[in-house]
Amino acid sequence: MAKINANYDKLSAGYLFPEIAKRTRKFQQLYPNVRVLRLGIGDTTEPLPPAVIDGLYEGVKKLANRESYTGYGDYEGNLELREALKAQYQAAGVDLDVSEIFVSDGAKPDSGNIQSVFATDNVIAIQDPAYPVYVDTNVIAGRTGLYNQETKQYDGIIYMPCTEENGFFSDVPGQKVDLIYLCSPNNPTGAVATKMQLKSFVEYARTHKSVIIFDAAYSDYIRDSEIPTSIFQVEGAKECAIEINSFSKSAGFTGVRLGWSVVPKSLAVLDAPAGKVNALWARRQCTFFNGASNVVQAGGLAVLSPLGRQECRKIIDYYMENAAIIRDGLLALGLTVYGGDNAPYIWLKTPGNISSWDFFDKLLREANVVGTPGSGFGPHGEGFFRLSAFGHRENVEMAVENIKQNLRL
């Protein structure tokens, strides 16, 4: 008789964003005439710029005749695209070989799948709060114990609390761990890691032969030139880190789907020669994944062209102006607000210490604005709330106005 993977039953709740969508639908059914303003999921809303559309068309046109038609591509991604990514890293002071770059269909699949090349008895450390994929995929893989209803933590995971006191970036773990998930600019807190902070993690990882999985999906939102856009800007990181990134937030590819991971050949792990993790990721990808869409990769190449970059930058600036509008509006109300400087997320403290989900209901009811409860990202997210800056300007402005006028504080 077939048995299910019982680890799924350990998951404490449904995936966060469908849960929010469900509650929003229910509200909308009750109040069909209310205009609900969505600042919940971090999903881009602006159309793709002309250079990128042209790139995608080029990809389509190549499929229209025999000479330029291509079917399955390289599992690791189109070489030209990997060369362009390599050049982008080079401009940021990071030298990579193209064989260290793996193109994928996004940072979510990569950040969820990467754990599969590591042993199940590795101890993992995760920022708390964090993008839920890191915890959930490790639960499903059997790398944790049960969910503890009291602590709201899974047994076996080392949580690194990200709090107001530490500026939402914790110190290195107090004990030895094997895999460390870091995200900067951070989802959900909007905090960024300084070079010194990343250096301390790189030193920790090299000492303990741990591997850092660094999610840089929002790197293009960094405004402060002192903040690293890649962990590989820290010396020694190529011996201890994997980096994951995406075209979703930098180029509006949330629905188009394209991302990449960097698995350095020099990554050192216990009992395996240098190059082993790179080889395992290549093996994993060519077994489970048939390469990113050729049309989409042509679009990705256009994103990385000088014109594409320029056009995408304008859209990022637009979202960052949204972030400033949200932040300033909430500050004017006297709320405690973080993030929004180097990230498209605003992280606010719920007024009157009410729970994150109570604030979700209150904000929806009183201001008709949908956001994301901080507790959905981990126990230290309780009492906080995330607002996304990825909306259309008029919706963002209306949301802030509604909050100002109608939220009862």
Shorter beta-carbon distance to ligand PGU: residue 111 or 230: 111
Instruction: State which of residues 153, 189, 246, 356 lies at the interface with ligand PGU (CB under 6 A).
Output: 246
**Number of chain positions touching ligand PGU (CB under 6 A):** 16
Phi-psi region of 149 (alpha: psi -120 to 50; beta: other; left: phi over 0): alpha
Q: What is the DSSP string of 71-117?
A: -S--TT--HHHHHHHHHHHHHTT----GGGEEEES-HHHHHHHGGGG
Report which of 254, 231, 224, 207 is spatially closest to residue 45, judged by C-alpha positions. Answer: 254
**Nearest-approach distance from CB 214 to ligand PGU, in angstroms:** 10
Convert residues 75-114 into a mask of x (bound to ligand PGU by CB under 6 A) and - (unbound).
Answer: -------------------------------xxx--x---
248 counts as binding ligand PGU under rule CB under 6 A: yes
* Euclidean distance between CA atoms 391 and 43, whole angstroms: 8
Cis peptide before 185 (omega within 30 of 0): yes
Q: What is the dihedral of CA 340, 217, 373, 15, to 10 degrees?
A: 170
Q: How far is the CB of 254 from ligand PGU (least distance, A)?
A: 5
First and final CA of the chain: distance in angstroms? 56
Q: Residue with CB nearest ligand PGU?
A: 106
| Residue 187 touching ligand PGU (CB under 6 A) | yes
Binding mask 189-218 for ligand PGU (x = CB under 6 A): --------------------------x-x-
Q: Is 21 in the site for ligand PGU (CB under 6 A)?
A: no
Look-up of token digits 């932040």: 327
Run of H or E including 40: none
Q: What tokens does 336 get?
A: 């405690």
Judged by CB under 6 A, does residue 17 bind ligand PGU?
yes
Residue 259 engages ligand PGU in binding (rule: CB under 6 A): yes
Does the footprint of ligand PGU cover residue 42 (CB under 6 A)?
Answer: yes
User: What character string, x for contact with ligand PGU (CB under 6 A) and - otherwise, covers 267-306?
Assistant: ----------------------------------------
What is the pattern of x (binds ligand PGU, CB under 6 A) and - over residues 112-151? -------------------x--------------------
- Prior bond to 273 cis, omega within 30? no
Q: Taking the CB of residue 173, how many other CB atoms lie within 10 A of it?
A: 17
Kindly list the residues in this chain that would bind ligand PGU in the complex (CB under 6 A).
17, 41-42, 106-108, 111, 131, 183, 187, 215, 217, 246, 248, 254, 259
